[in-house]
Amino acid sequence: MSKVELRNISKSYDKQKDVLNGIDLCIEEGEFFVLVGPSGSGKSTLLRMIAGLEDISGGILKINEKIVNHVAPKERDLSMVFQNYALYPHLTVEQNILFGLKARKVDKQEQQKRLKETAEMLGLTELLKRKPRELSGGQRQRVALGRSVVSHAPLCLMDEPLSNLDAKLRANMRVQIRRLQKQLGLTMIYVTHDQVEAMTMGDRIMVLNDGKIQQVGKPITLYNEPENLFVASFIGSPKMNLGKAVFTEDKKQLVIENELHVPVDSLTAKDLPLTENLVIGIRAEHLLPAQGEEKHCVHLEVVNVEQLGNETSIAFDVGTELWTAKWPGQWTIEFGQKVPVLISPQYILFFDGASGKLLHSAQVGKRQEVVAI
């Protein structure tokens, strides 16, 4: 297992300054660490800098307490899995998996031992004599994983390895990669733009945007307590419902998008400014169905309905925003229908509209910790 430390890491090119800026981070041994962010945020560049495939413009990179800024990739004792698999088309599965070991002149008997173990672990035993063109996308991805596993490198870097797969295969491969990481005790750094992958796989997540760290933490922490509006809108599927808001002068009501009036108590409004620069957020599962008479009930017009079998996803227009509710079960709701919805202040997060920073997290709605007995 490997520990990776980044101290004030930066990256600039001749024509582009601050592709990455001020990256301070410590990835612990045996951790599954996910880098997530939109395209162009710098996550793949950061991964390539750790691998030694990109020069570091500034700062210090350590692997196992050793400064490796100028150490060659082959001497960093790591493996990498790429988005496009990077398999040799003229070689068989077996030859692709063993390519790195042969280049390092590992003993042939040891090569076959590792090959057998890896092939059994990844379900590739029956495919060893095939060429990549004879494999499905999921099988090719397992071969790329196998080449990484067989190296016995304690640090594994993955750059969007599942983006070329269909939804069913992606779900299956997520489980396989996570299981593999735990079985082998690898330190894994995984890059993705898919926040569902990030939420379901990572021990911790780092959210990047415009080359800067937005937040680092456990998936559930980022979901419940996003530090700013970017994280709030990026983490979660569907994204958090957001809207401009202002308190009435007596702080007894919250006016959302100039059209929804939600009664609030003094505890909710405490220490929050009477300003037009507030932005509120509420998760889709916290927009609850109402009977039409509750204190916090509002009537919203339905603009889309998605029946998912186990739940129903309903979209509403709220001012200039599109809000989504997720209700368990199957609901018969029509386009254009006015639906009573509960907006309870205890589920609302408050952000500063100017800086985007979180001012006040929701009073409830956080996952309760489960204590094993």
What pLDDT does residue 371 have? 43
306-342 per-position pLDDT tens digit: 999 999 999 999 999 999 999 999 999 989 999 999 9
Share of the chain above pLDDT 90, in %: 64
Mean pLDDT calculated for residue range 21-48: 94
pLDDT band at 16 (very low <50, low <70, confident <90, very high): confident
**Calpha distance 248→38 (Å, rounded):** 37
Higher model confidence: residue 170 or residue 212? 212
The per-residue b/e assignment along 37-57, b for 16 or more CB within 10 angstroms, e otherwise, is beeebbbbbbbbbbbbebebb
pLDDT of residue 190 exceeding 50, the answer is yes
Q: Which fold has domain 238-360?
A: OB fold (Dihydrolipoamide Acetyltransferase, E2P) (2.40.50)
What pLDDT does residue 366 have? 56
Place of tokens 């996003």: 226
Give the dihedral sign, CA 134/138/142/144: positive
**Calpha distance 170→36 (Å, rounded):** 16
What pLDDT does residue 155 have? 95
Domain 4-229 has CATH 3.40.50.300: yes
Closest by CA position to 232, among listed 117, 348, 61: 348
What pLDDT does residue 200 have? 92
3-class state of residue 204 by DSSP: strand
98-148 per-position pLDDT tens digit: 998 988 888 999 999 999 989 988 889 999 999 999 998 888 988 998 998
Q: Where in the chain is the domain with CATH 2.40.50.140?
A: 238-360
Q: Where in the chain is the domain with CATH 3.40.50.300?
A: 4-229
Higher model confidence: residue 93 or residue 370? 93
3-class state of residue 212 by DSSP: strand
What pLDDT does residue 35 have? 96
pLDDT of residue 367 exceeding 70, the answer is no
Higher model confidence: residue 284 or residue 364? 284
pLDDT band at 168 (very low <50, low <70, confident <90, very high): confident
Mean pLDDT calculated for residue range 242-252: 88
Q: What is the mean pLDDT of the chain?
A: 89
Neighbours of 352 (CB within 10 A): 17
Q: In angstroms, what CA-CA distances link 45 with 4, 83, 141, 264?
A: 16, 14, 22, 46
What pLDDT does residue 83 have? 80
Kindly list the strands in the beta sheet with 241-247, ordered across the sheet, starting from the edge strand earlier in the chain. 260-263, 253-256, 241-247, 278-282, 349-352, 358-360
pLDDT band at 365 (very low <50, low <70, confident <90, very high): low
